[in-house]
Amino acid sequence: MQNVELLMPAGNLEKLEYAVKYGADAVYLGVVDFSLRAMRKGSLITMENLKEAVDLAHSLGAKAYVTINIFAFNNDIKLLEASLDRFKDANPDAFIVSDYGIFNLIKRNIPDVPLHISTQTNTLNYESVKFWRDLGASRVILARELPISDVAEIRKQVPDIELECFVHGAQCVSFSGRCLLSDYFSKGERKANHGNCTQPCRWSYKLVEETRPGEYLEINQDDRGSHILSPKDLCLVKQLPQLIDAGVDSLKVEGRTKSLYYVSAVAKAYRQAIDDVLKNPSADMEKYFVELQKVGNRGYTTGFALGNNNGESYSYNISKGLAGADFLCEFHSDKPVPFEQEGEKYFPVKIKNKMLVGDVVEIITPDEQFTALVEEIKNEDGEVLPLGNTNDDVYIKFSKSPQEPKYALVRTIGVKNVH
């Protein structure tokens, strides 16, 4: 059976753990200063806990790839030189790089760790892949702008290197992320290729005629303005059979800044879809597409994968992703229940969005997915509550309980906000 890797983002230690538990074979992670996603909250991955993060992935049976894919200036190279011992000590399964100087530094100083070539290099053809292979790279992450037919030809021309493709997540208006809009709008303070993009492609724009200053004209008639640069999110779950048949070794999901729920739900859907395709290449992928509509998205597109990217790939009326299901709570399975249970099973949870007694919800775990009724909600004193408010820590009794609650998540049922 062909081995196809599901590669998920790990924005922090908790998301790393959930990503693997929900089905990732490998995770990619980065630290501020050296990767293109500067995380702001949570158990951040830093130079101090980078080894801990890699070790955590390994302890869970997954691989960990460290991204060092910034566009590097001289001061970045000097900072990297001072950090090489820590990167070496972390001992990841690969480094993801785009800069030729960083490539040389890593290859020279940490020669035993494989090098993966970032999508930032805009690799579009088999001669480029051969170039990187001959330099010593073990994997090339192909540009998002490639149709699947070209991926298949690259695999045919270069069979002796691993190929990785993005299959899901936010896309950049610029060519494989080489964007300067944020640099310009922030006067150089928020550089896109140093992990601090302000995402001006998601802003709402209006038109001004130079002889009529202050008179703003709608580009597209909409009360929320016009998001003329904002691409829809990529979703290639329906194209998994073609991608796998084309010889892709690793299927990558974008989203190190996305939520714990997003990472878990997307990993679960793609894990099941990949396993389904490997068993049956003609398997119906529609049900997995429905599952992916339950997480935040700006509308889905196949991008360039089918060779027909056009204006329908842009989201003209929204800038933020809207989820088809609301994330309601996560379980705290290690937290004790302080009151007498009297044979009833209560679960300690952290409320993410308001939950009411009587709500019918969907519970997902790495191995389960089912609906249940919220039968009762209590506080830590055992007092019965009519609801749990956002950010409350409460105890809930469900009509059906997960067999393994440790990684269980709860969301609303069905799909809304289809766009």
Chain segment 351-390, per-residue pLDDT in tens: 999 999 999 999 999 999 999 999 999 999 999 999 999 9
Q: What is the pLDDT of residue 221?
A: 44
The string of pLDDT tens digits covering residues 302-346 is 988 998 877 666 665 665 668 899 999 999 978 888 887 777 899
Final residue of a structural domain among 251, 283, 313: 313
Q: What is the pLDDT of residue 184?
A: 64
* pLDDT averaged over every residue in the chain: 89
Final residue of a structural domain among 289, 313, 337: 313
CA dihedral defined by 353, 356, 362, 366, rounded to 10 degrees?
60
Domain of residue 375 covers 327-412
Least confident of 72-76, 84-88, 341-345: 341-345
Say whether both 40 and 112 belong to one domain: yes
**CB under 8 Å to 356, separation ≥6 — which residues?**
374, 386, 387
Least confident of 26-40, 104-118, 158-172, 243-257: 26-40
Final residue of a structural domain among 267, 289, 313: 313
* CA atoms within a 13 Å half-sphere pointing along the CA-CB vector of 307: 5
What's the whole-model pTM score? 0.89
Say whether both 157 and 89 belong to one domain: yes
Say whether both 308 and 357 belong to one domain: no
Q: Which DSSP string do the residues of 330-381 spell out, in sequence order?
A: EE-TTSPP-S--TT---EEEEESS-EETT-EEEEE-SS-EEEEEEEEEE-TT
Q: What is the pLDDT of residue 57?
A: 98
Rounded Cα distance between 96 and 65, Å, is 7
Q: What is the CATH number of the domain that holds 374?
A: 2.40.30.10
181 within domain boundaries: no
Q: What is the pLDDT of residue 326?
A: 95
Rounded Cα distance between 296 and 262, Å, is 7
Exposure b/e, 367-397, CB count within 10 A at least 16 = b: eeeeebebeebbeeeeeebeebeeebebbbb
Give the pLDDT mean for 385-405: 96
| Strand, helix or coil for residue 172 | coil
Say whether both 307 and 342 belong to one domain: no
Q: For residues 388 and 177, which has the higher predicted lDDT (pLDDT)?
A: 388
